[in-house]
Amino acid sequence: MGIHLIKMPDIGEGIAEVELVAWHVQPGDTVAEDQVLADVMTDKATVEIPSPVKGKVIALGGKVGDVMAVGTELIRLDVEGEGNVAAGAPTVTARAAPAPAPAAAATKPVATPAPPPPAPKAPPEPAPAPTAVAPRAPGEKPIASPAVRRRARELGIELQFVPGSGTAGRVMHEDLDAYVARRGAAAPAGSRYVERHDEEPVQVIGLRRKIAQKMQEAKRRIPHFTYVEEIDVTELEALRAQLNERHGEKRGRLTLLPLLARAIVQALRGFPQINARFDDDAGVVTRYGAVHLGIATQTDGGLMVPVLRHAEARDPWSIAGEILRLAEAARSGKATRDELVGSTITITSLGPLGGIVTTPVINYPEVAIVGVGRIVERPVIRDGRIVARKLMNLSSSFDHRVVDGADGAHFVQAVRSLLESPALLFVE
């Protein structure tokens, strides 16, 4: 038998360290060749680390949440044969025992008499059990003075559950004091106002840690400014309904998002400084001809941004199909690293959740993000008449170092013109 040491592999693309997000084995487990040992995260992609050999787990090289450098010890296995580690090498869990203090040569130990055993203490008297509080009969109102009622409201106490010690069951101030003292030990059944003292520490690891780091970096580096505009999407929604009725079965049904994506692609032709990435360390803004749209997607693990590549070369149905595929890959955890990096501008949508205005955070190192609000039907004055129109807000944020306020506003107005005259989306 021998020991086989598995190190954190080089995953490529210049990655120097990864975060350990899950162990699939524990010490004492027997693993087969190619069995997954652990999951690690690089940027936003989760990578499985398989075992190159079969054996028995001796020790793990880290705990979930640790950031580990490539080449450091990941796991040790007990294997048949010689293994790849000397038999006497310490395991990762081994710790050097502290050396005993040297005894003085000329000093003999002196016996110290043991102290007498402490006298047995009398057992504490049991605390009286809290008195059960039975609610009053339905419809029976508690009797209390206005001062007692006001104090009960301030304390968040329902008088229905407070037994009264005064005449005819009147609730007194002393009864409120007794109830407050008792409430921490045993809350009355049915009470809406129960103090809670539980705490739950949640370690920030994996995707949630990456999101936190990304958001902090974006807000630290980028001076945001947000521009909000109201869009009349009545005609756009009517066109979308017609397209779905005519082509929905064969080409797929369209939502608002692919039409908005198409409008952004067309508007960006006049604003190349917005379809860009800013390397502020090098002081270089790179403008892109290709539009790689980041689609902010909520998953069980947190927010991910899969990338719809070359949106400029796709029609709305192709965009819709690719958005659906990317969203499913992100939510199932099957999105590849290449599908999660390289966006040049991002769309985020909180429309289904409501809200009026958002201040979206730019997906660094991009310089712009477009936030989509919900569609609401409201009365609007048109040609002197009050008519019902479908309205939606766009809340767009820009990097003020790269995009001037006027340019950001003109870009949003260009998107607005296309959405309010949707036939232009299909005209080159």
Structural element, H or E, at residue 147: helix 146-155
Question: Which of 185, 183, 139 lies closest to 163 in space, CA to CA?
Answer: 183
The Cα 408–Cα 369 span in angstroms is 11
Residue among 34, 279, 338, 404 flagged as catalytic:
404
The Cα 264–Cα 268 span in angstroms is 6
The Cα 191–Cα 347 span in angstroms is 46
Tokens at 108, concatenated? 């003999």
Tokens at 167, concatenated? 């005449």
Residue among 173, 224, 310, 400 flagged as catalytic:
400
* Catalytic site includes residue 404: yes
CA dist 411 → 89, 139, 261, 363, 394 (Å): 64, 64, 14, 18, 12
Question: Which of 400, 376, 379, 397 lies closest to 388 in space, CA to CA?
Answer: 379
SS3 418: helix
* Catalytic site includes residue 400: yes
SS3 163: coil
The amino acid occupying position 219 is: K
The Cα 396–Cα 361 span in angstroms is 9
DSSP 275: S
Would you name the residues annotated as active-site residues?
A: 400, 404
